[in-house]
Amino acid sequence: MNNATMLTETREGPVLVLTMNYPERRNALAMPMREAMIAALERAEADRDVRALVLTGAGGIFSSGGDISAMGARDIAAGRERFRITHRFVRLMIESSRPIIAAVEGWAAGAGMSVALCCDTIIAAEDARFVASFGRVGLMGDLGLLHTLPARVGQGRARQILLYGEPVDAPRAEQMGLIDQVVPNGRALEAALQRAQMFAAAAPLPVALTKRWLAQGLAEALERERDLQTMLFLSADHAEGVEAFMQKRKPFFKGA
């Protein structure tokens, strides 16, 4: 599947809808998906007729996270290059002058959860589940998650989500402030579009400058993430985590 078909774009008046569409990997955020996102977000930023964006996933799932079948880095340079591309995508979302609303059905796992939290508003169906499952493959949270998650739920709850990797259902996620609204199954996109249409009548500059203010600290967080996650990509535990995942067995981590 090429970049163009991994991410579909539709317009609903002033709202651009981006739909992740990688069914064989449950909308995993493979590098071609991230590159397609970068291109779409840059086009949206240059289009003055776009007042808001909605991000969703096809097939009843938001995103299963990183594409583990294509994960890893050969050396430090390759790992840093991977994050150069990934962080361009993250910055385009968080620092975008347009508000971005996530419409989540089903799982938002790992990097899928990270991407949801890059959005300004998260609307989730009752069956939605959020999990920071990075530790299962010997990694830490990335795509800005260690910046965005504490900002949403506070340090204490962020620690529980990040360290234990336990799923959080939609009602609990709304209660703790992880998401903003729960809607019936199958209605997340409709509700997100209704919310996004409100920006058709909003003054764009105050929205853009408010988002820029709230993004303070992101650059430093991403640079630290780039260094630490690159180290973990080269670790023996990450290699073991990926191998165990592909073999459908429990990993045996040695702290190496």
- Give the residue numbers spanning the domain of 41: 3-186
Q: Is 207 domain-assigned?
A: no
In this structure, are residues 67 and 30 in contact, taking their beta carbons and an 8 Å threshold? yes
Q: For the beta carbon of residue 138, count every other beta carbon within 10 angstroms.
A: 21
In a domain, 78, yes or no: yes
The predicted pLDDT at position 71 comes to: 63
Asked if residue 211 belongs to a domain, the reply is no
Average pLDDT, the chain: 93
Interatomic CA distance for residues 115 and 242, integer angstroms: 21
Residues 6+ apart with CB under 8 A from 214: none
- Looking at the structure of the chain, the number of domains it has is 1
Is 225 contained in some domain?
no
DSSP code of 230? H
Q: How sure is the predictor about 26, in pLDDT bands with cuts at 50, 70 and 90? A: very high
pLDDT at 224 over 80: yes
Mean of the pLDDT values across residues 142-154?
Answer: 97
Q: Supply the pTM of this predicted model.
A: 0.94
Inside any domain, residue 122: yes
Confidence of residue 75 (pLDDT cuts 50, 70, 90): confident
Rounded to whole angstroms, the Cα distance separating 200 from 49 reads: 9
Tell me the pLDDT tens digit for each residue of 178-218: 999 999 999 999 999 999 999 999 999 999 999 999 999 99
CA R_g for the chain: 17
- CATH code, domain with 148: 3.90.226.10
In a domain, 119, yes or no: yes
Assign 69 a pLDDT band (cuts: 50, 70, 90): low
N- to C-terminal Cα distance for the chain? 35
pLDDT exceeds cutoff 90 at 99: yes
Q: Is residue 231 part of a domain?
A: no
How would residue 83 be classed by pLDDT, with cut points 50, 70 and 90?
A: confident
The reply to whether 92 falls in a domain is: yes
Q: CB 80: neighbour CB atoms within 10 A?
A: 15
Q: Cβ distance 218 to 95 under 8 Å? A: yes
The pLDDT, as a whole number, for residue 256 is 87
Residue 48 and residue 45: Cα distance in Å, rounded?
7
